[in-house]
Amino acid sequence: MDINLDQIIERVRNYEGLLRKRPIEDVFNKLVLNGQPGLQLPNFGDDAAVIPWKEGFLLLAADGIMTRLLVNEPYAAGKASVMVTVNDIYSMGGRPLAMVNVLASGDEEQRSKVVEGIKKGCEKLKVPMVGGHLHPDAPESSPSLAVAILGYANKLLRSHLAKAGDDIILAVDLKGDKGCRSVVSWDANSGKTSEELLYRLEALPLIAEKELAQTGKDVSNSGILGTASIMM
């Protein structure tokens, strides 16, 4: 079946992973741009909030996990909660320091699998989970999990600095496989040592510090094209 460019554009525009991003702008404008003044450097689209600190920047990010992933694959959801937040810090040229979480689950088996996944993710990516909050009375059919992470960067890769004529480079580990069954994902972590993963991730802060690039964004569930469109 032949597909022309207009059809591709239409499919990308109506892709679920991209449509889920649309409400963010309204929330961002109300809570950040019109919020309390401070030292933060707000920008719609960055993977983490930027706070000037000493000679560099603190990076503060948070991610929530889709309910269907928590219900169907709680262990994978726990691992993913660590991976996605860690990626947010590295994608902005930073290095993770520590994480906290908020977990809501009233089912002991479900909760245990989520926690085991979180533990595995922390061990694999060498970032400590230093605290959190638990709601032990959420129904098994509607659990929730959110993780916040703190990082530090000497130089930044930000999402709004791309301009006409720039080259776009996709940083991806092709030595992986299909990830979770409940969501579209790519698993390049399983089967690799911590040292292998961190060696690859360390390329991003080094790129920022050597000023080889000024723009960057983590590929989210909006996909490669969707993420590129958000970045531009």
Q: What's the pLDDT band for 38 if we cut at 50, 70, 90?
A: low
Strands 95-104 and 129-135: parallel
Residue 159 has a pLDDT of 85
How far are the Cα atoms of 9, 19, 168, 170, 224 from residue 165, in angstroms, in the given order?
A: 21, 27, 9, 16, 19
Which tens digits make up the pLDDT trace of 108-162? 999 999 999 999 999 999 999 999 999 999 988 999 999 999 999 999 999 888 8
User: Which pair of structure tokens corresponds to residue 39?
Assistant: 């030292």
Q: Please state the rounded mean pLDDT for residues 73-77.
A: 97
Q: Please state the rounded mean pLDDT for residues 171-177.
A: 87
Residue 25 has a pLDDT of 74
- State the Cα–Cα distance between residues 45 and 227, nearest whole angstrom: 10
Q: Does pLDDT of 18 surpass 60?
A: yes
Walk me through the domains of the chain, giving residue ranges and CATH numbers: 5-231 (3.30.1330.10)
| pTM of this structure | 0.85
Mean pLDDT for all residues in the chain: 88
User: Which pair of structure tokens corresponds to residue 143?
Assistant: 């659990």
Q: Does pLDDT of 165 surpass 70?
A: yes
Residue 65 has a pLDDT of 95
CA neighbor of 134 nearest in space, from 174, 106, 160: 106
Q: Residues 224, 186: contact at Cβ < 8 Å? A: no
What is the SS3 assignment for 68? helix
Residues pairing with 59 in the sheet = 50, 151
- State the Cα–Cα distance between residues 208 and 229, nearest whole angstrom: 21
Which tens digits make up the pLDDT trace of 176-214? 888 777 887 888 888 899 999 999 999 999 999 999 998
Residues pairing with 113 in the sheet = none
Q: What's the pLDDT band for 33 if we cut at 50, 70, 90?
A: low
